[in-house]
Each structure stands twice: as C-alpha cells, then as structure tokens.
Structure 1
Amino acid sequence: MKVLITGTNGLLGQHLVKQFRQMPDCSVVATARGENRLRDREGYVYAPMDIADPAQISEVMRREAPDSIIHSAAMTQVDDCETQRERCWQSNVQATRYLVEAARELGAYFQLVSTDFIFDGEQGPYPEDALPNPVNYYGLSKLAAEQLLPCSGLEWSVIRTILVYGVAEDPARSNIVLWVKKSLESGRKIKVVTDQWRMPTLVDDLAAGCILAAERRATGVFHISGSELLTPYDMALQVADYFGLDKGLIEKADGSTFTQPARRPARTGFVLDKSRQQLGYQPHTFKEGLTVMEEGAGK
C-alpha cells in the first residue's frame, strides 16, 4: 500500500506517519502546508502541499500516485470556524472536494477524518447511522465534507472521532490533557465544565483505527473514540491524580461561564460496536491513555 496523508504536521497526522512507517510493504507520503515538523525524516517521503490549492494537490498526487489517501487536515478550532466561515468552508469542504477529485483520477481509496460535532448532543452516545444535526458551523462543515463521499464513485470511509489528546512534536495546538497538566504544574487555577460529556480519544488509538480501516479498504462510516463517557471536569481530576498535581486548583464550571461564539453539543459519545466488530478496534481507557502519553513524551 502507498498511502498519502494530509495534515502530517498535526497531532493525528504525526501519529499516522509514525505507525504507517513501521508497517512492512507500506510506503508513506506525508503532506502538510509548510515545512515538515517531524524530527525523524527516515522511512517516508515528505511533500509540502496546501490543500486549498488544487493545482498543488494535482501535482503532488500525480507525482506520488498513492493508492490510499487519508485526509486528516482540517480547520478544527470551533470558535474560529464560527467567526471565519468562508475560511472554514474552504478548509473543510472545498479542500475535501479537491482531494476527492484527485483521488478519483487515481482510483485511490479515500478516508476522511470527521467529528462528533456533526451531532447536536441531545441523545449521545451515537451509533454511525444516527441522524446528524450540527449546532455549530464547524460541525456543519464537516458534515458537508462527509456528504461528498457517497456520491464520489470512490471506495471511501469516514472516521469520526472525539476530543483527541496525546503528544506531538512541535505541536501547533494543545489539547485538554496537556492544558490541564501545564496549568496545574504552574499553580494556575482552572475552570473546567461539568455539563458536557465526551469520550476522549488517545491519538495512538485514533491512528490505529484509521489504519485498520485503510488496510481493509473498509467502506462506510466508523466511530473511533475512547470508550468512557466523561466530563472535562472528570478528565481534569484524573489528570491531576495521575501526575500527582493539586486538584484544589480545579474549579467546577458550566458552559454558560464561558463566552464562546460557537455552541457546543452537550452530550456526544459514540457506540463503538461496529468498529470493534468490523475493524477489531480496541481503545485504551483514559487512565491507560495517560500512561501511553507519558511514555511517548519520554521518547
């Protein structure tokens, strides 16, 4: 298999490269806008590629000719998507359309990474066939990107996930675990919501789930997340306990405490039966994920 991955400067993209390059009979083309942020440059090819530029996409695709494409790049900052809608649509929908067209020319398998935010949070956890009803523009854009695939004529899959955490090299963004840990280590008080529920996903598990689907050229929608439904407050307490930090710095809050342009769904979460049965997906618990994350940070 020759796989091309978009967004390899991001958290998921970096872990996809790391896991794929360890697989025999697999060649990897890593792509992102700008320079490569991975320190290890062995075992894969890096090609700068701006997914908003169809000419650049076409050039890279024709040169590298992958038989599988994993599209992990996206604009995921929920509030920015709400206030910068044109940019969000270009990044999340139009770019996916360009990539689908390039995949069609190659006859490549196409995988799109999507989100729990396509749901309204009224009836979670959700199975794959639950009706979407996004409550913010980010979720709307990702749903629109998903809808490009069934009529594309491609072999395709959508991998939906939730609140990804883990360690990246030269990370452009933080995540809930890193934010809580850094805040408590510096002695800073933090307010964390108790009225939202998510299934936090270890990035190593998400990458493994994407690879399981790509190896099988699995078709359709698959939910890949952690297995525990937790509030961010619950997560923060577990992070404090695991790293021996002061839980007294963690204050309860609800969503109304924060002024945010984008509405958040209250309770998402996924039913994982399909991914377990069809892909053999097995996620870590949140506590196990913290251990994996700590070990990875030490390497």
Structure 2
Amino acid sequence: MRVLVTGSNGLVGSRVCSLFEKGGHTVVGLGRGPRRTGGEYGYASVDLTREADVASALKAAAPDVVIHCASMTEVDACEKDPQAAYAGNVNATAAVARSAQAAGAHLVHVSTDYVFDGEAGPYDEAAVPNPRGVYAVTKHMGEQAARVLAPGCAIARTAVVYGWPPVEGRLNFGAWLVTNLEKGQQVKLFEDQVVSPSLADNVAAMLVELGERRLGGTWNTCGGTVIDRVGYGRALCDVFGFDAGLIVPTRMAELKLPSPRPLKGGLKTDKARTQLEAKPLELAESLARFHATWKAARGH
C-alpha cells in the first residue's frame, strides 16, 4: 500500500511513518523544511497552505491512504495569529482532503479534544463540539472540511500527546515535565483541567490501523485514562522516581492565558477499545513505556 503522511517531522507523524514502513508499505512523509527524522521512507518539503503544492505532492505520491497529522497546535500562538491558524488548520486540511479525494485515497484527519468546551467531559464520539478560542474553532472547521471534501474519511481526535524522544522545537507536555523534574525544578500544573494524556506511539498505532482498515467516522484515538494534569504529573513522578513535591498545583485562571482551554475535558475511548486491535493504553502502561524509551535514550 502507498501511504502519505503530513507532519512527518512531528511527534505523531514520525511514528506513523515508521510503523507503516515496518508494515512493508511505501511511505512518503511531508513536512516543513528539511527532513528531521530517520527511516528509509520518502520525504518532501511542502507548504500545506499552498494548495497547488499539496496537489502536486499527492499526485506524485499517488497514495492509497493519507494520514493528515500536520497542524498548528500551539494554542496561544493560534489566538495571537488567527490568520496563520486558519491557514494551517483549515486551508491546509481542505487542500489535503481535496487532493486525497482526487487520488482516491482514504483520509485519516487528526483532530483534538479541544473541539469541546470542557463543560461536561469526558466526551464520546457522538458528543456535539462547541469550540472556544481560535485553535479550537479552526480545528473544528478542519474536521468539517475533511468530512465535506473527503467523504468517508476518519476523524481521529487525540489529546495531550507526549513521547520521548521529543521532536525539535517546543517540548511536548511529558517531555517538558521530565526535563524540568530531572533538574529538580518546580513545575506548575493545572489541578482544574481534566485531560486524556496520550502516548505518541499508541496514538500512531491507532492512526495506522484506521488507515490500513480504511475505517471512516469519528474516533477518539487517545490515552485510556482521564485525569487532571496534577494527577498525571504525580503518576509520572512515581514511575520516573522524581520528587512529586516539585509539582505546584495551579488553577488555570491564575495564569491569565491568551486562549481559553477546556477544563472538564478528556475523551471516552470505549469505541476504540472495542473496535480496534491497537487499544488505547491506560496511564500506567503509557508511563511505563515512556520511561523505558527515556531510559534507553540515555543509555541506561
């Protein structure tokens, strides 16, 4: 099978490429600028906001499946630059969806739990989105673009994705925690935001299965445990042997962040748990795997 993966330099996209490659598929990754990952698969630098460039890249790759991982994910940056957020999360998704449909490829579009307002989580796949803030609104619009322009596509929602090694640039939540706690530095974590922390490798495995089986509809492809961020941090300390006293519980309102964030969030994973072979991992197993890759990277 021929597979094209956008955001292939990213935390999830790089892992999706590796898994497809290991499965014997022909893989092309699309990313911004030079390639920053290993692997033998093909790579092209493409600006996804330029529809003509997207169309030519997909025509050249002639994929059977497209996994659209690329996104503008920095919530506050989106709030400060709505034009860039719209281009990266709506226009780019529309371009990828149109080209996937033209190629006859099955599209798996990666979205987020932030499409919900966080008033009544955790949410299942049938819950009605009510996005707040530029990031959330543009991600929801991206979902709609994918559904309209690539009928039969899969919408794969994930949440608070973490993994080691981190990709270049902004540290993911788990890697940021480990980096600071290892140095004995205090970290402020929200005690009033409930999330579904998701190990990148686990998310990638579910996305690959959605692609290989050409499954459509909405899927919560995230971790299987719903927990507040302080609880996650303390659980991580237990596994890594860090001092949990370094965690400073904070309420979100105290930080006066530019963009709103859902508080009572998280995603229910019953559908993925019962219908996918790649099951959402519970937090204990996710953290054990996270710890193992961290230790291996340090040569322990």
TM-score interval for Structure 1 and Structure 2 normalised by the shorter chain: over 0.9
Question: Which of 225, 230, 247 is the aligned partner of 2:244?
Answer: 247
Q: Does 1:210 align with 2:207?
A: yes
Q: Does 1:7 align with 2:7?
A: yes
Task: For 1:6-85, list aligned pairs within 5 A.
Answer: 6-24=6-24, 26-38=25-37, 40-42=38-40, 44-85=41-82
Report how far residue 287 of structure 1 moved: 2.4
Question: Whole-Å Cα distance in 2 between the matches of residues 227 and 197 of structure 1?
Answer: 13
Question: Whole-Å Cα distance in 2 between the matches of residues 191 and 133 of structure 1?
Answer: 28
Contact (CA 8 Å) 1:92, 1:141: kept in 2 or not? Answer: yes
* Greater mean deviation of Cα atoms: 217-226 or 285-294: 285-294
Task: For 1:221-240, list aligned pairs within 5 A.
Answer: 221-240=218-237
Q: Aligned pair count?
A: 296
SS of residue in 1 equivalent to 2:139: helix
Show structure 2 runs of 5+ residues with no match. Answer: none
Residue equivalent to 1:106 = 103
Q: Does 1:274 align with 2:271?
A: yes
SS of residue in 2 equivalent to 1:148: helix
- Give the superposed CA RMSD: 1.4
SS of residue in 2 equivalent to 1:147: helix
Contact (CA 8 Å) 1:37, 1:169: kept in 2 or not? Answer: no
Contact (CA 8 Å) 1:52, 1:90: kept in 2 or not? Answer: yes
Deviations 1:134-170 (A, max 9, x none): 1211111011011113322533110001110102464
* Greater mean deviation of Cα atoms: 241-250 or 121-130: 241-250
Question: Whole-Å Cα distance in 2 between the matches of residues 168 and 97 of structure 1?
Answer: 31
Task: For 1:184-195, list aligned pairs within 5 A.
Answer: 184-195=181-192
Show structure 1 runs of 5+ residues with no match. Answer: none
% same residue: 35
Question: Which of 152, 156, 159 is the aligned partner of 2:153?
Answer: 156
Question: Whole-Å Cα distance in 2 between the matches of residues 237 and 276 of structure 1?
Answer: 26
Give the letter for the 2:214 counterpart: R
Task: For 1:127-142, list aligned pairs within 5 A.
Answer: 127-142=124-139
Question: Whole-Å Cα distance in 2 between the matches of residues 102 and 92 of structure 1?
Answer: 16
Question: Whole-Å Cα distance in 2 between the matches of residues 36 and 62 of structure 1?
Answer: 20
